[in-house]
C-alpha cells in the first residue's frame, strides 16, 4: 500500500520535473496532470490513481524531445508507483 511518505516523495519528484524549464511544456503539463490525479482526494481509490498516473507517465517517457535526465526521473517515479 502507498504510504504517506512514499506518496509525498513521488509528488516532490514530479514537482521537480514540472518546475524544470528545460523540460518541454507539453511534458510539464502532463506531469502536472499526473500530480493532480495523485493528489485528488475525491478519486475512488489508490489503485485507480496509480493506474491513471502510470498511463500519463508512460506517454511522457516516450516523448522524443524529453531530456535524458528527465526521462530517468520519470522512470524513477514510475518504478516507485509500480512497486505499490
Full residue range of the structural domain in which residue 21 is found: 4-82
**Cα separation, 27 vs 6, whole angstroms:** 23
Q: What total number of domains does the chain contain?
A: 1
The reported pLDDT for the residue numbered 45 is 84
Q: What kind and span of H or E run contains 65?
A: none
The reported pLDDT for the residue numbered 13 is 94
Q: What is the pTM of this model?
A: 0.86
The reported pLDDT for the residue numbered 23 is 94
Residue 12: pLDDT band (50, 70, 90) is: very high
Question: pLDDT tens, 74-83?
Answer: 999 999 999 8
CB 2 within 8 A of CB 84: yes
Question: pLDDT tens, 34-55?
Answer: 999 988 877 678 888 899 999 9
CATH of the domain at 23: 1.20.1440.50
Amino acid at each position: 500500500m502507498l504510504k504517506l511518505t512514499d506518496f509525498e516523495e513521488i509528488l516532490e519528484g514530479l514537482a521537480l520535473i514540472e518546475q524544470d524549464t528545460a523540460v518541454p511544456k507539453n511534458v510539464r503539463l502532463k506531469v502536472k496532470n499526473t500530480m493532480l490525479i495523485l493528489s485528488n482526494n475525491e478519486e475512488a481509490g489508490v489503485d485507480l490513481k496509480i493506474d491513471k498516473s502510470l498511463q500519463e507517465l508512460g506517454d511522457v517517457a516516450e516523448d522524443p524531445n524529453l531530456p535524458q535526465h528527465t526521462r530517468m526521473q520519470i522512470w524513477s517515479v514510475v518504478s516507485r508507483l509500480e512497486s505499490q
